[in-house]
């Protein structure tokens, strides 16, 4: 990175006068529990050319100014922000700190475009049962979809909800169940049933689930392997997209070479949430 910019890895609480050049990977909003339509904060996950990521919090009073400026996939120079410890219940990054925008924070579009769109943090299924960090830190999952249950519709608090369970496995033969909700559920059901998708029936399908985390069912971690992985960014707009450029997925080239189609839970039109259960 040019010497005029700091790297995300350098950021610490010793000062607030950092200047970073980043790409916005994700945008989501937090809402009041008692008033689901009232936004309390806008949050983003950004990454730099080194591949490091950090979360930034935009207070309610700055949302109206920045929500039409900060877009997923775009490049920005961020300067001057408060540095807080990363002790959120659900941590989107491994960075020990998060950024909080204030009245002196500067957000400017950048012409630097050498930052990748996505950096994935794929984990092994076996690690989900043994590593307690995944109960509060998000990660990414890549696996083949080898089965699909029926789409389920039901009412919750007067709202119609939908869910569908996908059965996943990796190259080691480990299996995991992924429950997709609402918009994700509809997209997955349509894809699996070849509706509105250029997919041949019987073709292998691989799903990439980004920003997932574990929620465990059962009292004793060591006595039950059953866990529940929930996508943390429920308010985010998303879509399901075919990935044709395998070079972006450098973490598991063997798996990519073995499949014909990839299903990506991505970033455009439908809001939803997802859950993955390890078997």
Distance CA 68, CA 125 (A): 38
Q: Above 80 in pLDDT, residue 112?
A: yes
Q: Above 60 in pLDDT, residue 234?
A: no
The CATH classification number of 125-217+251-265 equals 2.40.50.140
Radius of gyration of the chain (CA): 19
Lowest mean pLDDT among 35-49, 108-122, 187-201, 209-223: 209-223
β-strand partners of 159: 156
88: part of which helix (H) or strand (E)?
Answer: none
In the chain, the largest separation of any two C-alpha atoms, in whole Å, equals: 56
Average pLDDT taken over every residue of the chain: 76
Domain with CATH 2.40.50.140 in the chain: 12-109, 125-217+251-265
- According to the model, what pLDDT value does residue 215 have? 61
Lowest mean pLDDT among 30-44, 72-86, 149-163, 255-269: 255-269
H runs (alpha helix) in the chain: 60-66, 125-130, 183-192, 253-257
- According to the model, what pLDDT value does residue 152 have? 93
β-strand partners of 84: 98
- According to the model, what pLDDT value does residue 266 have? 43
Give the model confidence (pLDDT) of 77-106 as tens digits. 999 999 999 987 778 888 999 999 999 999
CATH topology of domain 12-109: OB fold (Dihydrolipoamide Acetyltransferase, E2P) (2.40.50)
pLDDT-above-90 percentage for the chain: 32
Instruction: Give me the mean pLDDT over the 135-151 stretch.
Output: 85
- In this prediction the pTM is 0.69
- 175-182 vs 261-278, strand pairing mode: antiparallel
């Amino acid at each position: 990175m040019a010497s005029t910019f700091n790297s995300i890895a350098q950021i610490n609480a010793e000062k607030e006068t950092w200047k970073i050049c980043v790409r916005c990977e994700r945008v989501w909003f937090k809402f009041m529990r008692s008033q689901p339509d009232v936004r309390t904060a806008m949050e983003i996950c950004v990454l730099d050319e080194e591949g490091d990521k950090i979360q930034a919090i935009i207070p309610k009073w700055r949302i109206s100014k920045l929500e039409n400026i900060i877009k997923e996939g775009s490049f920005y120079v961020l300067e001057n922000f408060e540095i807080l410890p990363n002790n959120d219940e659900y941590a989107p990054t491994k960075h020990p700190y998060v950024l909080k925008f204030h009245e002196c924070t500067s957000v400017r579009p950048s012409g630097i475009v050498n930052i990748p769109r996505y950096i994935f943090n794929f984990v092994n299924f076996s690690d989900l049962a043994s590593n307690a960090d995944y109960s509060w830190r998000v990660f990414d999952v890549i696996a083949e979809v080898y089965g699909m249950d029926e789409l389920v519709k039901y009412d919750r608090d007067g709202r119609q909800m939908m869910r569908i369970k996908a059965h996943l496995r990796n190259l080691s033969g480990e299996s995991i169940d992924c429950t997709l909700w609402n918009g994700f559920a509809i997209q997955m059901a349509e894809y699996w049933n070849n509706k509105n998708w250029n997919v041949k029936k019987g073709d292998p399908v691989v799903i990439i689930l980004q920003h997932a985390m574990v929620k465990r069912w059962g009292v004793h971690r060591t006595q039950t392997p059953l866990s529940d992985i929930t996508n943390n960014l429920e308010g985010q707009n998303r879509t399901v997209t075919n990935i044709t450029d395998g070079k972006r997925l450098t973490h598991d080239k063997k798996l990519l070479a073995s499949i014909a189609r990839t299903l990506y839970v991505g970033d455009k039109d439908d809001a939803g949430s997802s859950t993955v259960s390890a078997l």
